[in-house]
Amino acid sequence: MGASEQDNRALRTITQQELIQKFPKLDANNHMRTSLATGRYNCLAFACADERKWWEPIPGGRYYWPPNARRDTSLATVTSIFLAAGYVATQNRDVEPGYSKVAIYVELEDVDSYSHVAISDGLHWKSKLGKGQDIAHDSLDLLEGDQADEYGIVAIILRKAIQ
């Protein structure tokens, strides 16, 4: 069996109980699964409305990276991807009807590289959990922390009007 076959075989949608173990602030009432697991795209691609490619600054192969972005995963580079798409910084962590928002997380021990990106459609916060499933979640703090698979802290929030 080839490596990609092993990866696909190991890929599965985890149960709600397993998800709560990975993200201890989640409970049955504050999040909802919105897709099955897939290794096709990651959180950055998901936040950029691309469910066809995995976004990484690795040249060639199955990865995509915006052509005008620096080839690194720094907070500055990931932020610049959204600024180029018309987002502007905001301090408001809440969903806002009429606005698309992105929240860029960084790990507590490496605040210069992003660890996760969540997006709001003006109604809910949504996240793609690595190669796992997509979820809608009530707030950004539900994925913050340094326990299990939590993503650190939200370093920056950006928004733009939904057209």
Domain regions of the chain by residue span? 3-161
Whether 4 shows a pLDDT value over 50: the answer reads: no
pLDDT at residue 3, as a whole number: 39
pLDDT one-digit tens code per residue, 57-107:
998 778 999 999 999 999 999 999 999 999 999 999 999 999 999 999 999
Residue 159's φ and ψ, nearest 5 degrees, are -145, 160
Query: Sorting pLDDT into bands at 50, 70 and 90, what band is 16?
Result: very high
Whether 8 shows a pLDDT value over 80: the answer reads: no
| CB distance 159 to 132 below 8 Å | no
| CB distance 15 to 4 below 8 Å | no
Residue 81's φ and ψ, nearest 5 degrees, are -60, -45
pLDDT at residue 10, as a whole number: 62
| CB distance 87 to 161 below 8 Å | no
- Mean pLDDT score of the chain: 92
Judged on CB neighbours under 10 Å (0-12, 13-18, 19+), 43 is buried
Q: Please indicate whether residue 121 or residue 4 has the higher confidence score (pLDDT).
A: 121
What percentage of the chain has pLDDT greater than the value 70? 94
pLDDT one-digit tens code per residue, 150-162:
999 999 999 999 9
Query: Sorting pLDDT into bands at 50, 70 and 90, what band is 148?
Result: confident
Whether 9 shows a pLDDT value over 80: the answer reads: no
Dist CA 42 CA 73 (whole Å): 13
What's at 124, amino acid-wise? H
Q: What is the mean pLDDT of residues 108-122?
A: 95
Query: Sorting pLDDT into bands at 50, 70 and 90, what band is 7?
Result: very low
Residues in the chain, how many? 163
